[in-house]
Chains A and B, each alone.
Chain A
């Protein structure tokens, strides 16, 4: 059917991140509007490399289950599809298994049936090493080129799938799709694109829906947003009378977390917004039109990988003495020298000792322009990162005791330099991860690396 003849399609985004929640009243209002699809983005690389590297979710299981229960029971009763993108927050196999376990638990408790497609997004190291050799694994400036060690040392590597693998699962009859790492708009755009709606509009709609009511006024990461899409544009509305969509709130969201708001690169091409218009159709709704998808030369997806870089221990303290705060740089240098002198092998295994000074430059670090405006009190975090937890504990503990009793010129308070809010004063933070890959991978086929696994919701785990 030509797109012009298609009836408007309604897509509900329940919340900015699965587990961030939404008011049941908003969800009920959405159901009255008879949506065709319920979708949610469950992840982000924003919380940092730990969650991908360690294979754990940054969202809470109970909160995710609460959101999913409401979505799944309503969708199965209505016979409309549910799509969950970037399951478990980072989308690697353990995150996906964690999400599927919750889905099956809900299905069992609620007596839900239907076809469940699970789409992993993990990319094998052998194929990436081969891609490195053929030039199909490319840097994403300002990032640098990948090396073999970045690939080999990673604990988890995922690629952001486009809408194509989701469409393949829907065409095979999936009622519920739980996907690994997805390009954020994909779960919202998949059903519309499958049914013939324009790709550019579908993806731009997804780009806005993926953060749900963050694009509303007042914005919220824990409320619903609905879009109604036709052949020439889409209209956005909230489901909560306390929020509205304005041209500014919606257009401003197009800027969010992007460096160039006119050209948004994604799997297989670029979303071109140079001709996009935003129109206030009534006091609470905004219509968006003119967004185009321009296919790129070659189909590229974004890779994300993380590797373990050590173990961390931190100690938290404060200081109020003006003479101490005035000389803090010299005191830190002195403590560092004392630690190195006591443990000459500290530098082995790449151990690092850091002092964070809140009240001075703890938030902005090297970017802080007002470092010299010293406050009357400071918060200090002493941090050690080393190749074993024992070594990190030793360095942190010794630096903390040294700083507590460190003598400096003009010291008045000879009983101790630090105020500790806690006993114990030191906290073992466990494994530390870093991003090892954030690169582009060229694919011959947008679907093949992301094959779905079909089962029934009611199947045992």
Chain B
């Protein structure tokens, strides 16, 4: 079983402006980046399921080869800092991504 945490160096979340939350998954080398793309490891359905949001609110999935990275962006449940906010910077929303396994893809 290959867990995503075994083949990545960075898994993080952050605001991309006050309306969006963006996730970066950076693989440790080109091999695992290519393998993740080949298997469509990170897709709209997966992100929607991990975060309990609609697929329409998964705004984009972008692969960025220079960094061996796959990026997903979702609509924030609240505009950053609105009453009810739990994470103003959006920096601690990444943990569900750490549960991804290549065996699921």
Contact = CB atoms under 8 A, between A and B. Distances in A.
Interface of A: 45-50, 140, 142-143, 247-248, 251-252, 254-262, 276-278, 309-310, 352, 354, 356, 361-369, 385, 432-435, 438
B89 to A, nearest CB: 5
Given A257-B14, A259-B20, A367-B52, A251 B83 contact: no
B17 A47 contact: no
Contact of B62 (A262, A356, A365): A262
Interface in B8-65: 9-10, 14-20, 22, 24, 26, 50-53, 59-60, 62, 64
A20 to B, nearest CB: 14
Contacts of B96: 367, 369
A61 B73 CA distance: 35
Given A252-B24, A255-B26, A259-B60, 7 more contacts: A143-B79, A247-B66, A259-B73, A262-B62, A354-B83, A354-B84, A356-B86
A356 B87 CA distance: 12
A438 B18 contact: yes
A364 B87 contact: yes
Contact of A433 (B16, B67, B81): B81
27 contacts: A47-B88, A48-B80, A49-B81, A140-B19, A142-B20, A142-B75, A143-B18, A143-B79, A248-B67, A252-B24, A252-B67, A252-B69, A254-B67, A255-B24, A255-B64, A255-B69, A259-B20, A259-B62, A261-B67, A261-B71, A262-B64, A276-B66, A277-B66, A309-B83, A361-B86, A365-B77, A438-B79
Given A369-B50, A369-B96, A434-B79, A261 B62 contact: yes
B66 to A, nearest CB: 4
Contacts, number: 129
A369 B62 CA distance: 23
Q: How large is the interface on B (under 10, 10 to 19, 20 to 34, 35 or more residues)?
A: 35 or more
Q: Counting chain A CB atoms within 10 Å of each CB, which of B59, B77, B83, B93 scores highest?
A: B83
Given A140-B17, A252-B69, A261 B83 contact: no
B5 interface: no
B10 A252 contact: yes
A438 B20 CA distance: 12
A435 B66 contact: no
B83 A432 contact: yes
Interface string B73-105: 101010111111111110011011000000000
Contact of A435 (B10, B18, B87): B18
A49 to B, nearest CB: 4
B22 A259 contact: yes
Contact of B24 (A48, A256, A352): A256
Query: When A and B form their complex, which 4 residue pairs have the shortest distance between CB atoms, in order from nearest?
Result: A48-B81, A251-B67, A251-B66, A259-B73
B82 to A, nearest CB: 5
B16 A257 contact: yes
A255 B67 CA distance: 8
Contact of B52 (A352, A356, A363, A369): A369
B32 to A, nearest CB: 13
A255 B71 contact: yes
A435 B79 contact: yes
B26 to A, nearest CB: 5
A252 B96 CA distance: 21
B51 A367 contact: yes
